[in-house]
Structure 1
């Protein structure tokens, strides 16, 4: 708990520091007067360069006349499109921003630029954005996490949890089916839990590695307007830690290992609220730890009180995330994870983010061969990922 409080204090000092200094500093202060009053061709090139740096995967075309900006070739993902508009509108000197969606402007000069804009079919290895955003309250989110659990009756009352994982996009098709973007990639990660107060402690270690889950998956995602979808095939296998086996020689190691397929649908109801749901099927499980096939997961996220920190060039917002799952193997009983915290990103709404949050889990353990045991615990986590 002391670590969490100290971390929050350091971030507060880093972001706000001397309030009088932050109050007078804005993004306009970072631009010269020449840029803010530049001619349209110069201003157009400047904004185009900014958009290309931060949103290179979408090949957005910037058109400027009288310091009014038209954006063509915009992505179909509503959240990403809104993020681009907000980014451009925040550039000092921009009078207005208009999005061109298939209808060229009446102005002859703008019409010629719009019609002759470049077109591409797809992008190799997109890195800046995701089509299907991760569900941040999902305790099996593939990301980088370091956290502290309190009160876990299965793993230990004092537990450290660590996850290492990422999504590696391979190819993204632009304007594919029904005008949506489609992406295929690879996911990989691990989740490990350490009991920091083991009893007995035969291994005489500082902590006890209880379990590690290994994950690999192939997600195919699609985004169209406020909707996004993800079809995923994946594998998870679990392994008890060496220290745990030494401290508990009577435990028989099982082999919880599954291959499964799920399909999720997400709807961005507003810029602040998102809901999602996804059924899944376990197509194979190890005979030492059989698992019934059907499950469903669903949840919602809300973001509010967003702020731009011009001094640090960051965007921050509060969030509240809720996640539930019901599994046939567990008699479709409710299992829920609830998280609230603050996230930082370089761009509004998209890109990789750093999160600080507190959470509560109530239902079943998620760790290996302990998955059928009931538990509940509080968590304090730091997280980095999409």
Structure 2
């Protein structure tokens, strides 16, 4: 019964996404009027969270990791994901709402093994409604995530399948943010609608602060930094801290950017079914924005 409910919830997210795109594309009111909004806006009105390790984006990073499962090792993280704006409605000067879809995969590798073993991959897909009123913004997201262990990892320790097979959930997230240039602060809550294993507690919180310099420095790069804090009910609300800082490279006439970021993380493992274990990590990553 639980599996059927989870499958139905995931299917509902996909159907809502497809239905929204069909309705918006077929409606005669969706004529492209830049003053009123329209299909496929170029930018998101709720900016991606810089230091969130599970924000859908394209990136690659190398990290020294120390966790309670594998001790010290060199790891690599690869992310392939993006948020795609479907429709925006402008309500007035600096006021708008937007419907978007997001999806991504987050994969992690052990670089100390001869074949760079894949440890785990998390897959997510979601539907977003975002809103902005001048400096205040909001993101409501309903999404599905499933996690899968790497074959080489399992072959080295077959007992992992008994303990960690079948980890997925559907969740709702509400995050509000306020731009106080050059800073942004944000905070919100997450709630697990359905989850496997079913004994997991449902609630978690997220908060953070970001900085983006108004002036470029080295090689025209703009200094950026972010601190993201998460706590889950399952782990007695103990905060996990993610810090990223570096340079953003972007031209004035493009919405695309590249960021080179130093990274630090300390807290519960945010990937796969390993949230019962703690880790700390530091490294360097390259992030691509579209």
Q: TM-score range by the shorter chain?
A: 0.7 to 0.9
Tell me which protein shows more strand as a share of its residues: 2
1:333: which partner in 2? 238
Which of 263, 271, 287 aligns to 2:174? It is: 263
| Correspondences of 1:267-346 after superposition (within 5 Å) | 267-270=178-181, 272-287=182-197, 290-304=199-213, 306-307=215-216, 316-346=221-251
CA-CA distance at 1:179 after TM superposition = 6.9
Q: For each residue in 1:289-334, what CA deviation from the matched residue of structure 2 results, as whole angstroms up to 9, or x when unmatched?
A: 642111110100112262289xxxx963101210001110110001
Structure 2 distance, partners of 1:256, 1:276, is: 28
Call closer, same or farther: CA 1:331–1:358 in 2, change over 3 Å: same
Q: Identify the residue that residue 229 of structure 1 maps to in structure 2.
A: 138
For the aligned residues, what is the CA RMSD? 2.2
Listed as ranges, the matches of 1:121-270 within 5 Å are: 121-127=36-42, 129-153=43-67, 154=69, 157-175=73-91, 180-198=95-113, 205-251=114-160, 252=162, 253-270=164-181
The structure carrying a bigger helix percent of its residues is 1
Extract unaligned runs of 5+ from structure 2: 1-32
Cα distance change on mapping 1:352 and 1:278 into 2, 3 Å: farther
- Say how many residue pairs are matched: 254
Relative contact order (alpha carbons < 8 A, sep ≥ 6): 1 or 2 greater?
2
Could you tell me how far 1:250 is from its partner in structure 2? 2.4
TM-score by length of 1: 0.62
Equivalent pair of 2:65/2:280 in contact (CA under 8 Å): yes
Q: Any idea what the Cα deviations from partners look like across 1:176-204, whole Å, max 9, x if unmatched?
A: 7x972110011010000001124xxxxxx
Report the Cα distance in structure 1 between the residues aligned to 2:273 and 2:84, rounded to whole angstroms.
29
Contact kept, 8 Å, 1:220 with 1:231, in 2: the verdict is yes
TM-score by structure 2 length? 0.82
In the TM superposition, residue 347 of structure 1 has moved relative to its aligned partner by 2.7
In the alignment, the residues of structure 1 paired with residue 255 and residue 106 of structure 2 have an alpha-carbon distance, to the nearest angstrom, of 23
CA 1:315–1:268 in 2, change beyond 3 Å: closer, same or farther?
A: farther
Counterpart of 1:65? none
Per-residue displacement from partner, 1:81-102 (whole Å, max 9, x unpaired)? xxxxxxxxxxxxxxxxxxxxxx
Q: CA deviation at 1:351?
A: 2.4
Q: Counterpart of 2:267 in 1: which secondary structure?
A: strand
CA distance in structure 1 between the aligned counterparts of 2:214 and 2:35, rounded to whole angstroms = 37
- Residue 365 (1) aligns with residue 269 (2): yes
Counterparts of 1:308 and 1:123 in 2: how far apart (Å)? 36
Please give the per-residue CA displacement for 1:193-247, whole angstroms capped at 9, x wherever unaligned. 001124xxxxxx5211000000001111111111111111011110000111111
Q: Distance in 2 between matches of 1:291 and 1:213?
A: 18
Larger radius of gyration: 1
Separation in structure 2 between the aligned mates of residue 242 and residue 319 of structure 1, nearest angstrom: 37
